[in-house]
Amino acid sequence: MSMTTTEYERIAEELDLAAQTAEAVDQISLTTSFTEDEAYEIQRLSIQRRIDRGETLIGLKLGFTSFAKMEQMGVHDMIWGRLTDAMLLEGGGELELSKFIHPRAEPEICFRMAQDVDREITRDEVLDYVDAMAPAIEVIDSRYQNFKFSLEDVIADNCSSSALVVGDWMQLREDLTNLNITLSFNDEVKEQGSSNDILGDPWLSVVHAIRLSLKYNQPLRKGDILMAGAATSAVFIQPGTTIKAEVEGMGPVQFNVA
């Protein structure tokens, strides 16, 4: 039996409140069965609450862009979440740890859309739809107890997305394969990976993000940003840390943790 609109709204409110107060809640799936499509509707309603408070949508993020992670989770597709302006932290700025429950950082590549998108595109067309790229760091912070969740739980919780830092925008490079990517805490490398860990080719993130955004009626617009997916495992954030990501050929991006 499918959930009612009232149940969607109740769960959306619960997750929104957990994010606002930085207090974890129990997994929804422990007591309620729901589908991926229903999870995305809960996500939409939860983020709509933020928009109603004055936040603005600025783009999307992809998750499960590692084939190994997809296999581990037993899923067949990427997942995605919404980004708002309140989640964007200025590079070199300070992250207030008290606003999060159990945050982790992961290095990524970020793209900026050159035009509105109203149809699916191919890999060969992707450069026509993006006008800049940058190194980035995403802060993920599950609103669930102990960072444990089902696939549906994490989708409803905006795919754990909670903050992001984007480095300097730069001109596009057609070939983004085999780039070394590192995540450092106080100049100590904690994780190291390759751009190939993002779907084998980070440009494919744009193709799939467009496909998924159209499927769920949240099309990418000119100026929107897209976080392409993590290139390494995420690392728990500690206070008093300078967190830096470096993407070969793109330079560094960093922020401080209060």
In three-state form (DSSP H/G/I as H, E/B as E, the rest C), the secondary structure along 203-216 is HHHHHHHHHHHHHC
> How does residue 73 score in pLDDT terms, banded at 50, 70 and 90?
low
Region of residue 54 (phi > 0: left; psi between -120 and 50: alpha; otherwise: beta): left
CATH number of 5-257: 3.90.850.10
pTM: 0.95
pLDDT for 49? 98
Q: Which residue is listed with tokens 């929107």? A: 224
Mean pLDDT, range 71-75, rounded to an integer:
67
Q: Which residue is listed with tokens 């102990």? A: 146
User: What are the Cα distances from residue 128, in Å, to 204, 211, 243?
Assistant: 14, 16, 33
Mean pLDDT, range 56-64, rounded to an integer:
96
Residue 71 has pLDDT above 80, yes or no: no
How many CB atoms sit inside 10 A of residue 9's CB?
17
Rounded CA separation 131/172 (Å): 7
User: What is the token pair recorded at 12?
Assistant: 């959306």
How many CB atoms sit inside 10 A of residue 145's CB?
16
> How does residue 70 score in pLDDT terms, banded at 50, 70 and 90?
low
Rounded CA separation 40/59 (Å): 16
